C-alpha cells in the first residue's frame, strides 16, 4: 500500500480513498462523545502543540481524558532529538496496546512522526495516523477516516502554519505556553529539529498580544514565549525587543519568560528590552552546547567560546542579577579531553544555576553523520565526562544557592509539591522554593524568605501574601 517511501520532511502521503467517511461525532450529549487522550514527549513546543491539538479536537466534538484506558483516540506526541527519546516512544507504543479497545485509533504526532513518516505505519501495525508538526489542522478529518479503517501519513511542512484559529486547551496550570515562532533556520550539525519542524516562521505580534491578553483575562499572570531560537523572532515589522516591550504593556501580566534563545540573536536592542521591561523575569536559559571553540565550530553553532562569554557579559552588564541556565552536549565527535576541559572552565566562568546535560546522540539525516567515524567519542568516555560535568554544575549551583539563604523573594505558587505536604513556588529568577500552605494559594504571589537549600531547591518561610492584582480589561 505505501511501500518504502522515506519519511523525509516535506513529503506528504495520503492513501487514496474513493469515499471520504463522514464525521460521525455527536455534539450534544457529552456521555456519548468520543474520548481523546494525548501523551506528550519532548520540549515545551510539543507540550504547546498538544494543547493546540486538544483544543482543536474538543471543538470538533471529542472529549479530552487524562488516561489512555479505553480512550477512542490515543495520540502520542513525540520527540526525535535523541535516540533515547525515540526508544521510549517505541516502548510506550507497544505498551499502549494494552489500553486499546477494538475501535481505538492510535496516532503518532510530532517530531518522530515527521522523521519516520510511513515507516512508522509499517513498524507499528496498530498505529493508523502519522502526523508531523505542521499537519494538525487536518486532525479531525484524519481521525474520522482512521475510525473507518483508513491509515494516513501527513508530513508536509507548511511555512505559514501557526494554528492561529485553534483555541488551545491549556494544561500548564498557573502559567501559559505561548508559541511565538515555529521551526528553525539554524543548522547545528547534531540537531534533527530543523528537519522535523521545518523552516523558521514567527506569528504576528498582534496575534501574540491578543492571545496573552486572553490568558491574563482568564486569571493567568505568567507566560512563557516559545520558539527554537525565540529571540530571532521577527514578524517582518517587529523584532523580539518589540515583542518583549509589547508584553510589558499587558496589564495584569506579572511574569514573562522565554525559551530557548540563541546567543547570536541577543542584539543590544533585545538586551535593553529585557533590562527595561519590568515583567520580564531575571533568568535566561542560554544554550551553550560546548565551551570549546573548536567543538562549537564543528557543531556549526556560529559562535566561539569568547563570543558566548561575551554575550553573558553584555547581559550581566545590563542586568547584574540575571541568572543563567544552559544546555550542554558532551562527546560530540572530535571532542578531546582538552575541549571538554574548556567546557568545564566555561561552566565555572559563567556560574550556571542549572544545566541540562546530554551525551551526544547521532541522528540520521543530520550533518554530523558525515563527520569521519574516527572522530567518534567512545561511549564510556562520554559517560565519564557527563558525570564530571554534572558534578561541577551541581557543586557550583549548591555554592551559589547557599550564598543566598536569607534572601527575600517574591514567589508564584505553582502547585502542591510532589510529596504533598508543601507548596511548590517559583522565584522570578526561576528557583524552586517549597513553602507551607494550602491549595487555595495556587496562582497567588507570596513574599518569602529563603530558609534553607538542598543544593538545588529551597525551603522558604512565608512573610506575607501579596494582594491579587486586578485583572486586565
Ligand atoms: N533550539 C534549542 C534547543 C533544541 S533541542 C537551542 O538551539 O538551544 C534541546 C537540546 O537538546 C539542545 O540544546 C541540545 O543541547 C540537545 N540536543 C540536540 N540534539 C542533540 C543530539 N543529537 N544529541 C544530544 N543532545 C542533543
Ligand atoms: Fe537545533 Fe540548533 Fe535549531 Fe536549536 S538552533 S533547534 S540546536 S538546529
Ligand atoms: Fe524534541 Fe521536536 Fe522538541 S525533536 S525537543 S519535540 S522540537
Contacts of 326 (CB under 8 A, 6+ apart): 285, 286, 287, 288, 350, 352, 354, 355, 356
Q: Which atom of ligand 3 is nearest to the CA of 111?
A: 2
85-113: pLDDT as tens digits: 999 999 999 999 999 998 999 999 999 99
pLDDT at residue 237 is higher than 60: yes
Strand partners, 110: 78
- Nearest C-alpha neighbor of 4 from the set 109, 115, 122, 90: 122
Kindly report the protein residue whose alpha carbon is nearest to atom 4 of ligand 1: 228
Residues with CB under 6 A from ligand 3: 42-43, 45-46, 79-81, 110-111, 192-193, 196-197
Radius of gyration over alpha carbons of the chain, in Å? Answer: 23
Q: Alpha-carbon distance 91 to 93, whole Å?
A: 6
Of the pLDDT bands very low, low, confident and very high (cuts 50, 70, 90), residue 17 is very low
Q: Is 39 exposed, middle or buried (0-12, 13-18, 19+ CB in 10 A)?
A: middle
Kindly report the protein residue whose alpha carbon is nearest to atom 10 of ligand 1: 327
Distance 235 CA to ligand 1 centre (A): 25
- Helix, strand or coil for residue 77? strand
Rounded to 5°, the CA angle 62-64-68 comes to 115
Q: Which atom of ligand 3 is nearest to the CA of 78?
A: 6
Judge whether 368 and 362 are in contact, CB under 8 Å. Answer: yes
Distance 16 CA to ligand 3 centre (A): 30
Distance 421 CA to ligand 1 centre (A): 35
Mean pLDDT to the nearest integer, 439-458: 96
- Nearest C-alpha neighbor of 76 from the set 24, 113, 104, 119: 113
What length does the chain have? 473
Half-sphere exposure in the Cβ direction for 420 (13 Å, CA) = 0
347-399: pLDDT as tens digits: 999 999 999 999 999 999 999 999 999 999 999 999 999 999 999 999 999 99
Sign of CA dihedral 82, 85, 88, 94: negative
Determine if ligand 2 sits within 6 Å of the CB of residue 9: no
- Between 21-30, 97-106, 121-130, 441-450, the lowest mean confidence (pLDDT) is in 21-30
- pTM for this entry: 0.92
23-39: pLDDT as tens digits: 444 444 556 899 999 99
Of the pLDDT bands very low, low, confident and very high (cuts 50, 70, 90), residue 130 is very high
Pick 451 or 472 by higher pLDDT: 451
Determine if ligand 1 sits within 6 Å of the CB of residue 81: yes
pLDDT at residue 217 is higher than 60: yes
Tally: H helices and E strands in the chain: 13, 20
Distance 84 CA to ligand 1 centre (A): 13
Kindly report the protein residue whose alpha carbon is nearest to atom 1 of ligand 2: 191
Amino acid at each position: 500500500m505505501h511501500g518504502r517511501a522515506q519519511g523525509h520532511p516535506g513529503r506528504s502521503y495520503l492513501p487514496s480513498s474513493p469515499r471520504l467517511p463522514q464525521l460521525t461525532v455527536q455534539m450534544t450529549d457529552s456521555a456519548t462523545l468520543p474520548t481523546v487522550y494525548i501523551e506528550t514527549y519532548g520540549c515545551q513546543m510539543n507540550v504547546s502543540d498538544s494543547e493546540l491539538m486538544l483544543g482543536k479536537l474538543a471543538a470538533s466534538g471529542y472529549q479530552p481524558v487524562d488516561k489512555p484506558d479505553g480512550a477512542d483516540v490515543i495520540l502520542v506526541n513525540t520527540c526525535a532529538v535523541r535516540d533515547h527519546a525515540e526508544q521510549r516512544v517505541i516502548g510506550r507504543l507497544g505498551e499502549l496496546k494494552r489500553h486499546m479497545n477494538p475501535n481505538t485509533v492510535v496516532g503518532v504526532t510530532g517530531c518522530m512522526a515527521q522523521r519516520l513518516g510511513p515507516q512508522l505505519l509499517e513498524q507499528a501495525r496498530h498505529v493508523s495516523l502519522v502526523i508531523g508538526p505542521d499537519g494538525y489542522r487536518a486532525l479531525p478529518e484524519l481521525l474520522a477516516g482512521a475510525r473507518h479503517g483508513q491509515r494516513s501519513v501527513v508530513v508536509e511542512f507548511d511555512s505559514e502554519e501557526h494554528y492561529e484559529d485553534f483555541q488551545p486547551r491549556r494544561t500548564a496550570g498557573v502559567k501559559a505556553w505561548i508559541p511565538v515562532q515555529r521551526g528553525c533556520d539554524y543548522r547545528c550539525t547534531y540537531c534533527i529539529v530543523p528537519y522535523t519542524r521545518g523552516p523558521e516562521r514567527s506569528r504576528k505580534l498582534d496575534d501574540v498580544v491578543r492571545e496573552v491578553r486572553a490568558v491574563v483575562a482568564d486569571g493567568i499572570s505568567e507566560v512563557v514565549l516559545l520558539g527554537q531560537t525565540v529571540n530571532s523572532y521577527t514578524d517582518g515589522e517587529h523584532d523580539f525587543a518589540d515583542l518583549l516591550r509589547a508584553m510589558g504593556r499587558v496589564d495584569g501580566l506579572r511574569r514573562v519568560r522565554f525559551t530557548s534563545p540563541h546567543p547570536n540573536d541577543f542584539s543590544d536592542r533585545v538586551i535593553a528590552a529585557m533590562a527595561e521591561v519590568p515583567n520580564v523575569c531575571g533568568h535566561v536559559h542560554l544554550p551553550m552546547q560546548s565551551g570549546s571553540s573548536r567543538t562549537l565550530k564543528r557543531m556549526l553553532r556560529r559562535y566561539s567560546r569568547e563570543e558566548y562569554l561575551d554575550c553573558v557579559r553584555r547581559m550581566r552588564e545590563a542586568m547584574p542579577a540575571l541568572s543563567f541556565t544552559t544546555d550542554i552536549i558532551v562527546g560530540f565527535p572530535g571532542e578531546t579531553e582538552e575541549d571538554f576541559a574548556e567546557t568545564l572552565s566555561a561552566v565555572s566562568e559563567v556560574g550556571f544555576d542549572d544545566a541540562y546535560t546530554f551525551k551526544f546522540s547521532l541522528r540520521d539525516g543530520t550533518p554530523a553523520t558525515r563527520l569521519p567515524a574516527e572522530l567518534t567519542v567512545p561511549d564510556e568516555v562520554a559517560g565519564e565526562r557527563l558525570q564530571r560535568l554534572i558534578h561541577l554544575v551541581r557543586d557550583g549551583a549548591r555554592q551559589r544557592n547557599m550564598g543566598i539563604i536569607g534572601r527575600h523573594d517574591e514567589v508564584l505558587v505553582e502547585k502542591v509539591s510532589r510529596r504533598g505536604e508543601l507548596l511548590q513556588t517559583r522565584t522570578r529568577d526561576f528557583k524552586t522554593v517549597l513553602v507551607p500552605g494550602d491549595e487555595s494559594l495556587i496562582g497567588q504571589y507570596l513574599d518569602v524568605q529563603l530558609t534553607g537549600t538542598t543544593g538545588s531547591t529551597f525551603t522558604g518561610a512565608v512573610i506575607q501574601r501579596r494582594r491579587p492584582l486586578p485583572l486586565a480589561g
